[in-house]
Amino acid sequence: MIQVALSENARINVDVCRLCHFVWFDMHEVEALVPRPLPSTPAEVPQAAREAIAMLKVQELAEQARGTDFDSAPPDEQWKQIAAFLGMPIEFDAVPQERTPWVTWMLCLLIISASAFGFTQLHEIVSGLGLIPAQAMRDDGVTFLTSFFLHAGILHLVGNIYFLFVFGDDVENFLHPFRYLTLIALAAFIGDLAHIAANPHSQIPCVGASGGIAGVITFYALNFPHVKLGFLMRYGWWWFRWIRLPAWFVFVLWILFQFIGAWEQVAGISAVSSFAHIGGGVVGLVAWLLWRKNNRLAEASHL
């Protein structure tokens, strides 16, 4: 047996066996020990109160799952009201921005400039710089790039620029410029390949940034699924109703429309390349699976 102090400030030394580590207290040593007070326990919540709290929690979860507001107030920004009146979705709960989206703004400027130049001689420029599936590798494949910046008309250009401007800044803020540009470039390229695969013998040139923007839309919807997107439902010029839907629900509808559009494209009754949208969306899904956690870990390491 050896004598061991219970702590640095203890006045009692107990005997401990070297072999079995058995501790031996003498009678006076046990009597000198002071018991610690037990921690106080919170008062028990009545059963009725627990049930009421549980019901409120269930209602809260149900409301979050439903995520729809069919009688919303209009947004404060005038430009959002105009965009919604023209049929565009708007962000009610904008994602907080930590940096200026310079890449998104520069892409929008380049696309507008190139498309405006293309409008001066639309047929000739689209025929020369558009992506033709049957001649995909003409000019060493440079049309994969040039076709991204050209558009077939004002409405085509305005629609793509709007979606890139509204959703691109949030994705750029999360991914940072390099990954953001990588996402757009790969989504545009895979979207073009999907368009070619749908009809590899087509001689019709394809232009537009839709494939790359589809990748951005997909990443946005998956990464910010609970952000509310607003729509203006109207009948004629006198009946209006604002509704808000979660981004994930709008994305499901968008995917459904793309598959319908792909069927119409194959049937030859649609000039919109829904296959390019689907191809770009697949890249957005893969990018989200790869980068959603890595980015958060990197940001956490700088806190």
**pLDDT at site 58:** 56
Residues 70-112: pLDDT tens digits?
Answer: 556 777 788 888 888 888 888 887 777 888 999 999 999 999 9
pLDDT tens readout for residues 161-219: 999 999 999 999 999 999 999 999 999 999 999 999 999 999 999 999 999 999 999 99
Sheet bearing 13-16, strands edge to edge:
2-5, 13-16, 23-24
* Exposure class string for 81-106: b at 16+ Cβ within 10 A, else e: bebbeeebbbbbebbeeeeebebbee
CA dist., res. 4 & res. 12, Å (int): 8
Block residue for tokens 């839709």: 210
Q: Give all domains of the chain, ordered by start, each with its CATH number.
A: 2-32 (no CATH), 69-301 (1.20.1540.10)
Q: For 12-71, how does the pLDDT look when each residue is reduced to its tens digit (9 = 90+)?
A: 676 776 666 667 667 666 666 666 665 555 555 566 666 667 666 656 655 554 555 655
- The half-sphere exposure of 292 on its side-chain side, counting CA atoms within 13 A, is 14
148 vs 207: CA distance, rounded Å: 6
Cα–Cα distance measured from residue 220 to residue 256, given in angstroms and rounded to the nearest whole number: 17
pTM over 0.75: no
Q: In this predicted structure, what is the pLDDT of residue 159?
A: 93
Tens digits of per-residue pLDDT, 219-242?
A: 999 999 989 898 888 776 667 788
